[in-house]
Structure 1
């Protein structure tokens, strides 16, 4: 397992790489790549998870995100997403064009990609790279009952190492998300193990504080300390515990209304010098927008207003965390 000191070295290497690229004038590098490299700027880059604008087309979702004040969109490029994987060559350029038209950065996308040998996955990543996207979330891994968890980890580690090789070739940063439930990475201690065969430069972790606290409770700070050197993108959301259908479970709520201590969290991110692309998620009741429905049951202005509220909270919380 790699230690914290090595992780800091990896982060410094990325910073130096960004600085080196920035010193080369007009060599064909897309500005979005430079802007999105970890540690490249002091302010945060907040992207809206496009799942919540699934009821709009590319132009309308881009216009809405820009007017609300987002830096970009975390574009869903997966089954039932804004871009279907099998149509990435045809539709991903259209989505990117619309985003650029309204001044949005084209940095992030969320995928179901996990296998570097899958032809469709390669097609999506090659298309994204050519269009200037830099960061993407992978699909999820599982622990099959037929083999032991340590055996599964070895298999998964090799799979992510192979994916990193492809990412490096394409100039992409893949991130595996820690997620509440019976997923690989739900116990945050899995993350270093499944990434142990990578350099963690082009294959790391998309860190989700909501899921980390739901799984880790009061020890989330230790989990963050463990994986901080692997984080190359972040999901932002909040929750509280409650009962639904007679069962205790996490209930998603607007930012600042749940149990996520954003002040402590952001202070730690600054301490570890983690300033990477963020994806804002709104998974509480928004008339179906929270689920990615193509038709919603409330006025879209109500959805936009809540997005603005969460975005304002996020930026203020980041600025105040010292």
Structure 2
């Protein structure tokens, strides 16, 4: 679950639905009723920010495979993904409830369901709470109590600490608030082993350090949106040179941490982490030097690339775990 300064999207009505609203299909007709029902369902789906959930779940399966060195039961993976999806959907839906006021004034988020009054606020609140309760009950029943408690802690942290306190008060909001997006690896590890161990913490730190450069690159592109909404994202309160310098620092921290994880993995992961890490570093440094030189820069390229980077790191981790080669720690131990 990659918490996040957000790249969720609302769903605009289709041309077919627009014609129906304009009178081409009367609301009382079967086709009109079907169109309304479909629009309502899609509005609730949009509340959950499915694209954000996809990114969070990318990290869950590799964490489970590493925890079991590739022998985890596929049904356990599916059960954990289902519970994790409900938890992330709960957090995102409740985030939409709390942030409805700023979503209305930001161009990037103006199409979210509550911003355009597609769903009553009270319904969205109940929807989010039910998803949260369901995620806890499901994970406890299908995996173990620790995984369920971690899911609840993630939801509470994301809503009360990040959304309600940090987001609107400090430019370091995403640094600490981004911890919620790191939790899927912990939940996956706990669901597999019933415990939390050092590799889970290192994976947590990979996502933790990755989140600021990923989010700040997006915020650089939409800083006027955040300024209008009164959200003190770092690019709103600091010049581009300062922001990109910090992006470089956190990118280095991310890459170094991925290499630390190699102690518990094989050569496939270690080689992949090194190669894509260099790629990530080159992109971050290029953004920084471009800003320093006064050249036009495209921070959205780094934002999109960072998604691919994280996916590549965890895909390599999954492959390495399934193949089950000796880990670096085992090799060095003789």
Q: Between Structure 1 and Structure 2, which shows a larger proportion of strand residues?
A: 1
| TM-score class, shorter | under 0.3
* Structure number with bigger Rg: 2
- TM-score normalized by structure 2? 0.27
